[in-house]
């Protein structure tokens, strides 16, 4: 995947307060230790990765339901068309586009 979520230039940031379950906070701290990140950075990374994951899933769901084009889905997922196509394949998506569809389109050219 493109290095979008971590490579975007950080604009102004805003401090917020959130409550986390103690067990979740322990897991966040453990991840931070393993990756040599402070707690705030670890939480930001997890939020960014979680947001990216949800964006991909939502875009794939909308695309497979026929609500949006693949190009629009890739845009919503902040991926290139190639990356989004590979993401769909990795999740088990099978295209409904058949060889006969291809042949019909080829006749029109």
The pTM of the full predicted model, rounded to 2 decimals, is: 0.71
d(CA 29, CA 55): 25
Q: What is the pLDDT of residues 83-102, one digit of tens each?
A: 999 999 999 988 776 677 66
Name every residue whose Cβ is closer than 8 Å to that of residue 68 and which is 6 or more positions away in sequence: 59, 62, 76
Q: What is the pLDDT of residues 28-56, one digit of tens each?
A: 999 999 999 999 999 999 999 999 999 99
């Amino acid at each position: 995947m493109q290095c979008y979520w971590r490579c975007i230039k950080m604009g102004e940031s805003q401090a917020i307060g959130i409550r986390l379950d103690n067990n979740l906070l322990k897991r966040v701290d453990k991840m931070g230790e393993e990756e040599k990140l402070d707690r705030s950075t670890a939480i930001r990374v997890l939020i960014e990765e979680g947001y990216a994951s949800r964006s991909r899933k939502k875009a794939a769901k909308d695309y497979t339901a026929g609500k949006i084009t693949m190009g629009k889905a890739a845009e919503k997922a902040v991926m290139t068309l190639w990356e989004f196509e590979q993401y769909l394949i990795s999740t088990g998506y099978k295209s409904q586009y058949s060889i006969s569809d291809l042949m019909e389109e080829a006749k029109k050219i």
